[in-house]
Structure 1
Amino acid sequence: MANALRISPSFHPLKWRKPSDFSSGFFRQCSHISISEIKTTYSVRNHLICLDRIRANITKTPDSSLDDDIDTPVSIELEPIVSEGQFDRIIAEAQQLEEAVIFVWMAGWCRKCIYLKPKLEKLAVDYYPRIRFYSIDVNRVPQRLVSRAGITKMPTIQLWRDGKKEAEVIGGHKAWLVVNDVRQMIENEF
């Protein structure tokens, strides 16, 4: 079963038909299924799916290759900050390297924060390695750090450069709007 693939039943089933019935696309390539290949197929509600034939049906666009997309991450996990010393160290490193840093201030109890975090992790890929993204749980860091950053609402996304806060987005609305606002904040600063 190493070559098996589970798919939803909405895929078209492979049925034993005359080769003339396999006129296009996936079915044309699967018209040559042999008995040995049937052993490497997986049956999902009476649908035969052959991995080797599915791989053969993947197409490349002229301007890109499939190998280029393999190395690109889909998202970058936001590194958590758990102390004021760590926060100061990150600010100092960014200042020394003349980079900007994004801090996502959130809380474990905040539903909007929980929903927004994976979307910001996907956004971080677009700006990696120019801008580093960090998450800070306000319940796990000292209150003086939260006050120092001027955090009043959750979630708050701040852009820091040269040791000071340059811009912020308070994310009390839909996640896709917050992501667009953060993208615009970053683009305006650069």
Structure 2
Amino acid sequence: MSNVLQISPASKITYLNTKPPFCFPNFNLIRAIACPPNLVAVCPIKTHFGVGKIEALAKYGEEGSVQGLDDSPASIELQPISSESQFDRVVAEAQQLGESLVILWKASWCRKCIYLKPKLEKLAAGYYPSIRFYSVDVNSVPHKLVVCAGVTKMPTIQVWKDGKKQGEVIGGNKAHLVVNEVREMIENNESAL
């Protein structure tokens, strides 16, 4: 059985050596595992795209089990913070565990915030579970919290460690540039400790 999926220009997925062909429009990133006889198991993962093909590395063992799969999620939803007491509790828990926090300060009316959130959710998957990612809608929390955090523009992404703000990126650029800046900020913060 072949381990290669072919994708047509219309983004329909054809599974080789399977009957009938399957199409999962809700999956942008998939891995297919060949299972006898003519079955396919699909799960969301990170993949590398080539020209018109996704190569899936299937590791099918002698006993009929799938081995060596990456169980990490493709994205992790940012946990919402909706009150000052919840914010204090999250920061205190992270401080007690010695973990870093990444907090997206956003507004529902902010277009850049809307575009940035899913990209940060993908970034969160790369740091899961060592760094926690949260979001705060500035319109749904007391203004005092926003001022205490030093947030002046939307979106603002901050890294917190040991109960203190360690750095921030104000998202005035394109989302992918902001994500790169956040990644650098996380790496610099983690290497400095």
TM-score by length of 1: 0.69
| Cα pair distance change 1:169/1:66, threshold 3 Å | farther
Give how far 1:10 is off.
Answer: 5.2
Q: Residue by residue, what CA displacement relative to the aligned partner does 1:160-184 show, whole Å, maximum 9, x if unpaired? A: 1111111000011100100000000
TM-score by length of 2: 0.68
| Superposed counterparts of 1:170-181, under 5 Å | 170-181=170-181
Aligned position for 2:127: 127
Matched, 1:60 2:39: no
Give how far 1:144 is off.
Answer: 0.2
Secondary structure of the corresponding residue to residue 169 of structure 1: strand
Give how far 1:100 is off.
Answer: 1.0
Measure the CA separation in 2 of the matches of 1:101 and 1:43. Answer: 40
Measure the CA separation in 2 of the matches of 1:177 and 1:186. Answer: 14
Give how far 1:90 is off.
Answer: 0.7
Give how far 1:128 is off.
Answer: 1.2
Measure the CA separation in 2 of the matches of 1:152 and 1:11. Answer: 41
Q: Could you say which structure has the higher helix fraction?
A: 1
Q: Could you say which structure has the higher strand fraction?
A: 2
The runs of 5 or more residues in structure 2 that have no matched partner are 1-6, 24-34, 42-54, 60-65
Q: Bigger relative contact order, structure 1 or 2, given CA contacts below 8 A and separation 6+? A: 1
AA at the equivalent of 1:97: L
Aligned length: 152
Measure the CA separation in 1 of the matches of 2:119 and 2:93. Answer: 26
AA at the equivalent of 2:20: T
Secondary structure of the corresponding residue to residue 123 of structure 2: helix
Structure number with greater Rg is: 1
Measure the CA separation in 1 of the matches of 2:166 and 2:124. Answer: 18
Measure the CA separation in 2 of the matches of 1:59 and 1:139. Answer: 44
Structure 1 stretches of at least 4 aligned residues deviating more than 4 Å after TM superposition: 7-12, 51-56
Q: Of the candidates 35, 38, 41, which is equivalent to residue 20 of structure 2?
A: 41
Aligned position for 1:148: 148
Aligned-residue sequence identity (percent) comes to: 60
AA at the equivalent of 2:69: D
Give how far 1:60 is off.
Answer: 2.0
